[in-house]
Copies of this chain bind each other. A is one copy, B any other.
Amino acid sequence: MTAATNPMRRPKAALIDLAGVLHVGDQAIDGAVAALARLRAADLPLRFLTNTTRTPRRKIVEKLRRMGFDIDEDEVQTAAQAALQLVRERGLHPLYLVHPDLAAEVGPSAAQPDAVVLGDMGPFLDYRQLNAAFRLLMDGKPFIAMAKNRYFMEEDGLSLDMGAFVTGLEFSSGRDAEIVGKPAAAFFHTALATLRVAPADAVVIGDDLHDDVGAALAAGIPAILVRTGKYRAGDDADPAIRPDLVVDDFARAVELLLARNPS
């Protein structure tokens, strides 16, 4: 997977992953706050795309601001919101398996659910709830997953992400989940539509080889892989996924982008 990109032209918009790119846990990544300020000063339209579903959007933005990032809530697009939009569009009444912190954002599960919506339950993972979801899937109900990430970077190391439980339910039920966050092309395209920028004119910056970079390239968007967050040695040598650029961190990505001529 590779997208055509002109290394001499500055992109017209940047879609930026949050965890692992701007911060790890409660710590801003070195130089990221200043780099974001430089992008702002250059007037580059931005959207922040996150598959983090343990936390509602408002709290994600509050945390980023405490670290010093200049980010507006409207600029952040979460996988949880994408799931809720799909639920509304289709008139579904789901069983929600989500972290308690996200419960208020998604609302209560239906008494007689006609769909399963899975988020990242984190330490609140619960067999009884997974089994209730499994039984609905065996009964043919739609299966919507906010994300399918393999792992993410926490302050004390890589941690298991919700993709494990999406895959597990898929295996046992024989059903495929519809993923609404990254790597779904629609998730990127929705963000670009709000900015009125074509995929080939934008850039994605992320630390996840599969769900940021590979997904962006598949959606026709040039992509930069940063060597922070969940990046692991060898990610930049995957024969199937070739980022347009691989850089040490977000600050270096911004430096290289702003060195290009505006189109």
Choose from B138, B165, B166 the contact partner of A158 (Cβ within 8 Å): B138
Residues of B within 8 A of A123 (CB): 127-128
A100 interface residue, CB < 8 Å from B? no
Choose from B157, B159, B163, B169 the contact partner of A164 (Cβ within 8 Å): B169
Residues of B within 8 A of A168 (CB): 163-168, 171
Within 8 A of B (CB), among A141-159: 150-151, 157-159
Residues of B within 8 A of A134 (CB): 151, 158-160, 164
A28 to chain B, nearest CB (A): 24
Q: Which residue of B lies closest to A128 (CB)?
A: B123
Q: A157-B135, A171-B150 are in contact. Are A127 and B128 (CB under 8 A)?
A: no
Residues of B within 8 A of A135 (CB): 157-159
A101 to chain B, nearest CB (A): 15
Interface size in chain A (residues, C-beta < 8 A): 32
Within 8 A of B (CB), among A115-134: 121-128, 130-131, 134
Residues of B within 8 A of A121 (CB): 127
A218 to chain B, nearest CB (A): 19
A172 interface residue, CB < 8 Å from B? yes
Within 8 A of B (CB), among A74-94: none
A236 interface residue, CB < 8 Å from B? no
- Complex CA gap A241/B171 in Å reads 18
Residues of B within 8 A of A114 (CB): none
Within 8 A of B (CB), among A161-220: 161, 163-174
Choose from B125, B138, B158, B172 the contact partner of A125 (Cβ within 8 Å): B125
Residues of B within 8 A of A159 (CB): 131, 134-135
Q: Which residue of B lies closest to A137 (CB)?
A: B160
Q: A151-B134, A167-B167 are in contact. Are A127 and B172 (CB under 8 A)?
A: no
- Complex CA gap A259/B147 in Å reads 55
B125 and A127 contacting across the interface, CB-CB below 8 Å: yes
- Complex CA gap A60/B167 in Å reads 30
- Complex CA gap A126/B159 in Å reads 14
A-B contact pairs, 11 of them (CB 8 A): A121-B127, A124-B127, A125-B125, A127-B160, A130-B160, A131-B160, A134-B159, A135-B157, A150-B171, A151-B172, A164-B172
Report, nearest first, the 9 A-B pairs whose CB atoms are least far apart.
A164-B168, A168-B168, A167-B171, A125-B127, A134-B160, A150-B172, A164-B172, A131-B160, A123-B127
